[in-house]
Amino acid sequence: MTKWLALFAILVSADAQAWNCKHERSLDEALDVDGSESLAIEAFAGDLEVTGISRSDEVRIRGRICASKKDWLDETRIETSGGDRARIGVDMPNMESSWSLFGGNRYAYVDLVLEVPEDLALEIRDTSGDITLENTTVASVEDSSGDIEISDARGALELRDTSGDVTLRGLAGDLTVLADSSGDLHGRDIDGAVTVLRDSSGDIR
């Protein structure tokens, strides 16, 4: 229960701030993925932008960390690991003890801009913020809140979305929508089978 309260605090406070940035730290680092078969990306609040490039052995990690408190900025980190299943994860501070529903001035989030090998299979989990993927190989996307835009992608994609619109353009592979709770789903130029297992609200085109 404590974990979910802390996560809810991050989501609501970040959305309420409309991406203010009182304290900021830039990101610019690289992850060696030579020999990796997949990359797990685990993000929390903030936008995620991923572009596939022809480079075969490196992921470039750029972006910014923003927080309303300097301590939260210092506590927010990007964790990375290589191997067969490489990983990029966002480690957020515990905001529960300092957060109240009506506080309105407390937030922490990370905007990530990644360049990845175009043939590296991506497994993405995100909680709040928009996701933009271009020229990538995508295996799965799980998102709680925010719009998703995927263009010129390869691979059989499994998609689970709770809130926000989903736009797919140029998918070379099968698409399985495990769940789409709220928001419109738009697809164009999908070269594969499309299966929608559950759609609760919104248009499908």
Maximum alpha-carbon separation in the chain: 49
Residue 165 lies in a domain: no
Chain centroid, CA 152 distance in Å:
17
The reported pLDDT for the residue numbered 183 is: 72
In a domain, 103, yes or no: yes
102 in a structural domain:
yes
Looking at residue 201, its pLDDT comes to 52
**pLDDT value, residue 198:** 67
- Among residues 75, 106, 107, the alpha carbon closest in space to that of 92 is found at 75
84 in any annotated domain: yes
Cα R_g (the chain), whole angstroms: 17
3-state secondary structure of 2: helix
As a whole number of angstroms, the distance between CA 23 and CA 25 comes to 7
Q: Which domain holds residue 66?
A: 2-146
Q: What pLDDT is attached to residue 5?
A: 42
The answer to the question of residue 57 being in a domain is yes
Work out how many domains the chain is built from and give that number: 1
Residues of the chain with pLDDT under 50: 1-18, 99-103, 202-203
What is the predicted pLDDT for the residue at 124? 97
Q: Which of 48, 55, 62, 63 is closest to 33 using CA atoms?
A: 55
Residue 199 is predicted with a pLDDT of: 59
Residue 9 lies inside a defined structural domain of this protein: yes
* pLDDT for position 117: 97
**Do the domain assignments include residue 31?**
yes
Tell me whether strands 85-91 and 77-81 are parallel, antiparallel or unpaired: antiparallel
CB 40 within 8 A of CB 86: yes
Closest-CA residue to 146 (of 117, 175, 118, 111): 111
Note the pTM of the prediction, 2 decimals.
0.84
Model pLDDT, residue 187: 87
At 20, phi and psi to the nearest 5? -65, 165
Please report the pLDDT score of residue 104 as a whole number.
Answer: 56
On whether residue 22 sits in a domain, the answer given is: yes
* pLDDT at res. 184: 84
